[in-house]
Amino acid sequence: MKEAQFWKSEPEGFVQCTLCRFFCRIAPGRRGRCGVRENRDGTLFSLVYGRCVAESTDPVEKKPLYHILPGSLSYSVATVGCNLHCLHCQNHHLSQPPFNFSDQDGEETAPELLVQRALRAGCRSMAYTYTEPTIFLEYVLDTARIAREKGLLNLLVTNGYTSEEALRSAAPLIDAVNVDLKGFSETFYREVTGASLQGVLETLKLYRELGIWLEVTTLLIPGHNDDETQLREMTRFIARELGNETPWHLSAFFPTFKLTSASATTPEDLFRAQDIGREAGLKHIYLGNVRTQRGRNTYCPVCGQLLVERQAYQGRSRGLDGDFCRHCGAEIAGLWQAP
């Protein structure tokens, strides 16, 4: 247990958490929406600091981050808990545990040890993922400082509901982020995730403003977020507000957790969304969680030559010369080389 950052005292022993965009007002002895931050006698504590519940060595492409050091490994870590309650959560056994979970859940693992393990595994980055890194941000920041000193990149895979205060504080240590843009209607966000679309859009624009490399993922759920109106508005937002070189990852949905009534996404569903993204001017659209070679590789948006070839989450540079296309000399957006 560690005293939390990003909170303020209120009268009668209450505290307000300012870590995410829910800004929970928490009574003494109670926890916030995420279930992992507790008010103890007027002080807010993180119950999951240093309690690593999942860690693995993954290809960076699996995050997915396709424009970050292709073919490299990333050391991925998480604690329990999440501030969103998505009906289709694929890691619900970690992110949505019983609200009275033990603060002893997970293996006690110091930030220094995580970085040591990453280096021994030959990783070139740390990824804070699987659940929601915002809710264990104190742990993220302490680990990220050490990782930065050792020459590792720091990557977030997030739902994009971090408060502006917390994100601006974390920004100097974060190199790249993949944000789930889960849909493009307030109704969908409220009913399926419990959050607000507008809050996510504000966070996405802030990442762009802060100069952190940004990629966006949308899990396409038939009948929920795949209608033409949402897809056209979403792709226009990405192109206009985030830049048309922002990679957009489209992922296939399979019924799970509390959303078993929806149909699985077909390759044709993904192809249709990809075409809409291209019409909006997006230059890099990738398809995931489906058996098709289409939408895996990176091509030069100027001359069309193959730049990065991918097989089973393994990327291999074919046409890059540093940050430039070897064929036509165009600069390709991304972090293709270690800093």
Could you tell me the CATH number of the domain that includes residue 279? Answer: 3.20.20.70
Report pLDDT digits (tens) over 182-226.
999 999 999 999 999 999 999 999 999 999 999 999 999 999 999
Q: Quick check: 97 pLDDT over 80?
A: no
If asked whether residues 234 and 314 sit together in one domain, one would say yes
Report pLDDT digits (tens) over 254-296.
999 999 999 999 999 999 999 999 999 999 999 999 888 899 9
If asked whether residues 64 and 90 sit together in one domain, one would say yes
If asked whether residues 37 and 129 sit together in one domain, one would say no
332 belongs to a structural domain = no
If asked whether residues 88 and 30 sit together in one domain, one would say no
If asked whether residues 69 and 184 sit together in one domain, one would say yes
Rounded to two decimals, what is the model's pTM? 0.97
335 belongs to a structural domain = no
Range of the domain at 155: 51-325
HEC readout, the chain: CEECCCEEECHHHCEEECCECCCCEECCCCECCCCCEEEECCEEEECCCCEECEEEEEEHHHCCCCCECCCCEEEEEECCCCCCCCCCCCCHHHHCCCCCCCCCCCEECCHHHHHHHHHHCCCCEEEECCCCHHHHHHHHHHHHHHHHHCCCEEEEEECCCECHHHHHHHHHHCCEEEEECCCCCHHHHHHHHCCCHHHHHHHHHHHHHHCCEEEEEEEECCCCCCCHHHHHHHHHHHHHHHCCCCCEEEEECCCECCECCCCCCCHHHHHHHHHHHHHCCCCCEEEECCCCCCCCCEECCCCCCEEEEEECCEEEECCEECCEECCCCCECCCECCCC
Q: Quick check: 312 pLDDT over 60?
A: yes
93 belongs to a structural domain = yes
